[in-house]
Structure 1
Amino acid sequence: MNQITHDSNVIMHFTIKLSDGSAADSTKVNNKPAKFTMGDGSLSENFEKCLLGLVQGETKSFELQPEDAFGMPNPDNIYFVERSKFNNDVPAEVGMIVAFTQPDGVELPGVIREVAGESVTVDFNHPLAGQVVTFDVDVLEVN
């Protein structure tokens, strides 16, 4: 049996569920399993710990607290942006996720939390920060 170790190449399907049971993300939607190498930084250390020892063909579900998954929201990641930065193509609407291009050219997604006068509050924390999440994994292949 191929077992996941610290340097395994893994192909798996995963679904991230919120505490209310709704799916926040799933590789099954487009039937495109995730491919990664353990330790390459694409998964958090705590998520990798949960995968260690699983074998090819195994299905497992585990719950992670916020600090073990996407972290707690950081107040330093909340910014106030001038409303003039938005337009008809990119309206300032509460709940929208907008990609902002940083000076280095990298796009960073932010969630609009509040619109007050000429000020728009944008939260750059991970959308799942502060949430207890359940990961359902189907290990398809381990090399």
Structure 2
Amino acid sequence: MTQPTVTVSEGTRVWLNFSLSLEDGSEIDSNFAGDAVEFMIGDGSLLPGFEHLLFGMCGGERKIFTVVPEDAFGMPNDNNVQEIERDQFDDDVELEVGLVFSFADASGGELPGMVVAYDSDTVTVDFNHPLAGRTILFDVLIHRVEAAELH
């Protein structure tokens, strides 16, 4: 008797290769040159908006999805753009637009922020995700899907 085909759903382990690109075709990330990655649906490896697109797919399937900002990295939030006093940065730091710094957040974790403007008194830093507001093309090849072992 043949085993039924397992499709991606809650409680499955998935092996896949993927790439993320912008609508203009520029690639953001890809693991197609390497081994497939393995993860459990719902473990936080993928954003929920990406993960749910995989539901119903099975081993051997490849699809390209267009993911709107709301289901990807969200829309930019003006409250995430902050002005910081210039003296909070080391004097020997050469500021330039596009430079990314790591800041401590309220819980002591790291939060990246990108310099979007500066003058002698203040530095304007954008803490939005760099891909906020962007539509993402998600190219995915499912290698294998298994029902997860329950412990």
Band of TM-score, shorter chain: 0.7 to 0.9
Q: How many residues align?
A: 142
Query: Could you list the per-position Cα deviations for residues 50-97 of structure 1 after superposition, in whole angstroms to 9, with x for gaps in the alignment?
Result: 100111122110001111211100111111122223337754221122
Residue of structure 2 in register with 1:27 after alignment: 31
Residue of structure 1 in register with 2:21 after alignment: 17
Alpha-carbon distance, 1:32 to partner: 5.3
The 1-side partners of 2:6 and 2:113 are apart by 39
Structure 2 unmatched runs, 5+: 147-151
Alpha-carbon distance, 1:42 to partner: 3.0
Query: Could you list the per-position Cα deviations for residues 20-50 of structure 1 after superposition, in whole angstroms to 9, with x for gaps in the alignment?
Result: 1001122246x25433211223323221221
Residue from 72, 76, 98 that aligns with 2:101: 98
User: Kindly tell me: are residues 91 and 48 of structure 1, through their superposed partners in 2, closer, same or farther at Cα, counting changes over 3 Å?
Assistant: same
Structure 1 unmatched runs, 5+: none
The 2-side partners of 1:72 and 1:90 are apart by 30
Alpha-carbon distance, 1:134 to partner: 0.4
Aligned pairs (5 A) from 1:20-59:
20-28=24-32, 31=34, 33-59=36-62
Is 1:96–1:112's contact at 8 Å kept on the other side of the alignment? yes
Is 1:90–1:98's contact at 8 Å kept on the other side of the alignment? no
SS of residue paired to 1:100:
strand
Alpha-carbon distance, 1:99 to partner: 1.3
Asked if 1:137 is matched to 2:140, the reply is: yes
Residue of structure 1 in register with 2:149 after alignment: none
Higher-Rg member (1/2):
2
Asked if 1:72 is matched to 2:75, the reply is: yes
Residue of structure 1 in register with 2:85 after alignment: 82
Alpha-carbon distance, 1:7 to partner: 1.6
Is 1:86–1:92's contact at 8 Å kept on the other side of the alignment? no
The 2-side partners of 1:95 and 1:125 are apart by 13
What's the TM-score once normalised by structure 2's chain length?
0.82
Is 1:83–1:92's contact at 8 Å kept on the other side of the alignment? no
Report the aligned-residue RMSD. Answer: 2.0
What's the TM-score once normalised by structure 1's chain length?
0.86
Residue from 61, 64, 85 that aligns with 1:61: 64
User: Kindly tell me: are residues 91 and 42 of structure 1, through their superposed partners in 2, closer, same or farther at Cα, counting changes over 3 Å?
Assistant: farther
The 2-side partners of 1:35 and 1:124 are apart by 30
User: Kindly tell me: are residues 17 and 4 of structure 1, through their superposed partners in 2, closer, same or farther at Cα, counting changes over 3 Å?
Assistant: same
